């Protein structure tokens, strides 16, 4: 989008860092509850600093638009890899799972539940590192009330029974999803 380069180019080019910019859709900006959820998600994600979690650099508001400036992760999602090559062999899958669990342990230590652990949100970098992506819908105890009643958040096929039943979640839900 045109404005995102205006907001970020000078500061980010000075750092010589490639970033990913996630922009809240324009039609959602007029909904205060959606904007607040987006902001709370950024606050939650910003607490996390771990090698297996994509880093959030900044949350920016410019001319009525909101965006997250995040670490750009070069690689492929597990979803893409599985679709292209089929099932991941057990020894490699076990190694990936350990890295995901390491990142989740860090998040859970802050009381943060990802709520959408699935192959599309797990990325393998070109160097073979694992990054958990999309902590946007993550919740901490103090943000859970911002989720709309009757609206299930996450990828259905990977949800824990507690998540489907809209119960209070903790880290066990992410482990179930993994």
- Any idea which residues carry the catalytic annotation? 116
CA angle (6, 7, 9) in 5-degree steps:
65
Write phi, then psi, for 135 (nearest 5 degrees): -85, 15
Contacts 24+ apart (CB under 8 A), 167-175: 168/144, 169/113, 169/115, 169/139, 169/144, 170/108, 170/113, 171/104, 171/107, 171/108, 171/113, 173/113, 173/115, 174/104, 174/107, 174/108, 174/113, 174/114, 174/115, 174/117, 175/101, 175/104
């Amino acid at each position: 989008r045109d404005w995102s380069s205006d907001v970020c180019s000078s500061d980010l080019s000075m750092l010589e860092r490639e970033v990913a910019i996630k922009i809240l859709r324009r039609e959602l900006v007029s909904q205060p509850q959606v904007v607040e959820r987006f902001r709370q998600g950024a606050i939650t994600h910003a607490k996390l600093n771990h090698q297996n979690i994509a880093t959030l650099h900044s949350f920016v508001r410019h001319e009525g638009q909101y965006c997250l400036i995040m670490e750009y992760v070069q690689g492929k999602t597990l979803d893409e890899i599985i679709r292209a090559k089929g099932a991941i062999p057990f020894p490699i899958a076990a190694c990936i799972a350990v890295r995901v669990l390491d990142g989740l342990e860090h998040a859970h230590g802050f009381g943060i539940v990802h709520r959408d652990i699935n192959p599309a949100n797990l990325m393998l970098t070109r160097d073979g590192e694992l990054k958990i992506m999309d902590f946007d819908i993550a919740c901490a105890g103090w943000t859970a009330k911002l989720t709309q009643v009757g609206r299930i958040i996450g990828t259905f096929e990977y949800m824990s029974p507690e998540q489907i039943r809209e119960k209070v979640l903790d880290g066990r839900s992410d482990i179930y999803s993994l």
